[in-house]
Structure 1
Amino acid sequence: MATPKQPKHNLLDDTTKELNEWTGEAKAVEIHPLRMFSEVFDRHTKNDADAIFIAGTKATTPPLAEVSDAPVKPWLFSRVLVVLLVTFSLLLLLFYAFKNERVLPGLLVMGSLTVPFSLMIYFFEVNVFKNVSILSVLEVFLLGGVASMVATMFLYTLIPTANGTALWSAALIGLIEETGKLLIIAWFINHLQLNYIFNGMLIGAAVGAGFAVFETAGYGMDYGLVTLVIRSWQAIGTHTLWSAMVGAAVVFAKDDYRPLTTQTVLRPKFMRFYGLAVLFHALWDWHVPFAWLDIFYIHQLILIAGGWVVILVLIEAGLREVRMLRQAGIPAEEHAFLPLP
């Protein structure tokens, strides 16, 4: 009698299955980056872009019955990225070709802004509930970014670190900075009464993007354009992603859409994804004692890939949440437009 074939397993499937179990579903998540970004190279009109940017108002927030649970295919973020990259490139031209040092402040701003801001737009597109306006996101980006830095600096005064690259120091830095951002992310999510995974990821990404922009601008001012460029491309997998994880964790901690409390943050769903963000941050800052990992930024590229795997699993969990809400028949008034005062 033939032995039935055992299903094949690989590291990616095992990882996504474990992460997905944390969100409440015990199966692997299929990762299809080409499908997700399939519309990036399609032709889109200005009206298509306008339709995305006007989401989140009283007139444009769809009822829950009309919220799509189809695989997300964001594209507008790529157009924003191109505009910012061209602007940064023109500033570099002015600086190097025409020796115009007056453009240095602009280089610092645009170099630090390009990737985090584009990523924030990505999460804005991914929010299929379309219940948070771009104006609200920009306010969270600016105010939340600065406020999270203030919270972090305050925590640093309470918990001094050596600010080094040893594992223990990197772990402490990751814990402090992710906690500082957590405080602001949780405040915005509570204040705006946001309840969905996609909402949490968007608010987290906006706070993290703001934090990344201001931090990178400071490093660029201290260490020059080479550091600015390196930190800029690496931003594709740092603060914005980590904070999106934290935002999702905050939503997981909420009890039946009620405000977050100190008790609910002890829930395993929250602790796992918050701890994961801290771990990614710590591993990023850690000077790994393997020289080969420094070749072509292998260390950072591994962490970037890992961070995106977590984000894609959370996106799948967000789509599953849409389906569950429909099946549960959540009243329309619970899926309301939530303006930012």
Structure 2
Amino acid sequence: MKCPDCIYSNPEGVKFCLNCGKNFSSEDEIQDPNQLFYEFASYVDGIPRNHRSIVPNIKNIFSRVFRKHSILEAERLFIVGTAITTPKIEDVKETWPKPWLFARVFIFALLTFLGLHIGLIWFQNINFLPGLIVVGAFAVPLTTLIFFWEMNAPQNIAIYRIIYVVFIGGILSMLAALVFFNLLKNNINPITIGIVEELAKAVTVIYFVRNQKYRYILNGLLIGAAVGAGFAAFETAGYALRSLLTGSFETLYNTLLWRSVLAPGGHVAWAALIGAAFLRARENENFSLSILVKPKFIRIFLLVVLIHALWDTDIPGMFPYGHSILMAISWVVAFRMIQLGLKEIAEKKSQLPEEPKESTVTAKIISKVKQP
């Protein structure tokens, strides 16, 4: 259906133009002033669930990354998660999503970083330095976070909430880590660093997912990734500035480069695993400390602490080969959590009461009519 005003090709059946907003319906047909928005939200809500992959393999999951996508298609993704656009559980697909927006976010961040680099190095304008550090620190953690956001099949968390958790959760987890480090005083080693930082992120993640609003494993994965992204970005920005003050621009760029390369398998993935493990252990219960001692949570938390501790050791070959292996382990577990999250959705859908068949309804009506 082409819009007579902007000539945009709309899907059949819509009552307004998805490009310019022109109303295709007559005024008599609109009884609810919010009707058009509801229909738009319903249509948009279905977009991210199209093109789902049933077989969980890398080729299928990332098959849409290199396809052409319109700006409108990207804008539709950011509408999900509100009170109106969150789908009912029976409408959620339990098959694997096919994320693609995260790749575009990375490209945008890379182009921005390149522009800041040109301003700083070629034009020797120091005003570009803060932006270069911030963009360099946030680029990959944010990209990884968007990937987890696209994998959140329930689509019940708005992008506004995610941004909030990135900044507030990131700084809260860092402050909590500093408090724990001060308690340890001089007992700082790779093991205590792993325990302290993962405990700080765990406390923060649990704070955000403690209520029943976030009840899916995939929700915990996403909220955890948001906390981890904030933690990773703030930490990288600090290390980058320190490397510049104690070294040179070369050390600054090396710090940003390697921390960005390793970021997907670091704090973002670790906090995501903790969040997913917590909601998996909680199931449908209200929050209680007993959840923290359940094997489903303890196993993942200890695994994350172990990975983090090994990450910070000075074992020969740990950088970058050991880090690459640890990244792979983190992502194998992350994909396993995604698989469990999709399975959880399928189980919840199977527990929904079946709608009565038409014949049964008809029989009940006839029986009531026949009653004197």
Which TM-score applies when normalising by structure 2?
A: 0.76
Change (3 A) 1:263 1:180: same
TM-fit CA distance, 1:157: 1.3
User: 1:213 maps to which residue?
Assistant: 233
Deviations 1:66-119 (A, max 9, x none): 101112211111111110111011111112211122211111100000000111
1:37 maps onto 2:62 in alignment: yes
1:232 maps onto 2:257 in alignment: no
TM-fit CA distance, 1:34: 2.0
Match of 1:303 among 291, 305, 326: 326
d(CA) in 1 for partners of 2:295 and 2:202? 16
Q: 1:188-337 maps to which residues of 2 (within 5 A)?
A: 188-191=208-211, 193-223=213-243, 224-254=252-282, 256-288=283-315, 290-291=316-317, 293-294=318-319, 297-329=320-352
Match of 2:172 among 136, 147, 150: 147
1:179 maps onto 2:199 in alignment: yes
Q: 1:1-150 maps to which residues of 2 (within 5 A)?
A: 32-150=57-175
Deviations 1:276-328 (A, max 9, x none): 1111111111111x34x54xx21111111111111111111111111100111
Query: For the Cα contact (< 8 Å) 2:212–2:286, is it kept in 1?
Result: no
Which TM-score applies when normalising by structure 1?
A: 0.82
d(CA) in 1 for partners of 2:212 and 2:175? 21
Which one-letter code corresponds to 1:173 in the other structure? I
TM-fit CA distance, 1:193: 3.0
User: 1:18 maps to which residue?
Assistant: none
Deviations 1:17-50 (A, max 9, x none): xxxxxxxxxxxxx862222111100111122212
SS of the residue aligned with 1:156? helix
Which one-letter code corresponds to 1:204 in the other structure? G
Deviations 1:145-199 (A, max 9, x none): 0011111111111123554xxxxx2111011000001111001001463110000
d(CA) in 2 for partners of 1:230 and 1:115? 11
d(CA) in 1 for partners of 2:269 and 2:139? 15
Which structure has the larger Rg?
Answer: 2
d(CA) in 2 for partners of 1:281 and 1:160? 20
SS of the residue aligned with 2:210? helix
| Structure showing greater relative contact order (alpha-carbon pairs closer than 8 Å, 6 or more residues apart) | 1
Query: For the Cα contact (< 8 Å) 1:31–1:312, is it kept in 2?
Result: no
Deviations 1:224-275 (A, max 9, x none): 2321221122112100000000001110221x42232111210000001111
Note the residue ranges of structure 2 that are not aligned, 5 or more in a row: 1-54, 244-251, 355-372
Query: For the Cα contact (< 8 Å) 2:217–2:276, is it kept in 1?
Result: yes
d(CA) in 2 for partners of 1:84 and 1:109? 11
d(CA) in 2 for partners of 1:315 and 1:330? 26
d(CA) in 2 for partners of 1:274 and 1:73? 28
Query: For the Cα contact (< 8 Å) 1:253–1:260, is it kept in 2?
Result: no
Which one-letter code corresponds to 2:181 in the other structure? Y
The number of residue pairs the alignment matches comes to 292
Change (3 A) 1:63 1:242: same
d(CA) in 1 for partners of 2:295 and 2:352? 27
d(CA) in 2 for partners of 1:38 and 1:161? 49
SS of the residue aligned with 1:69? coil
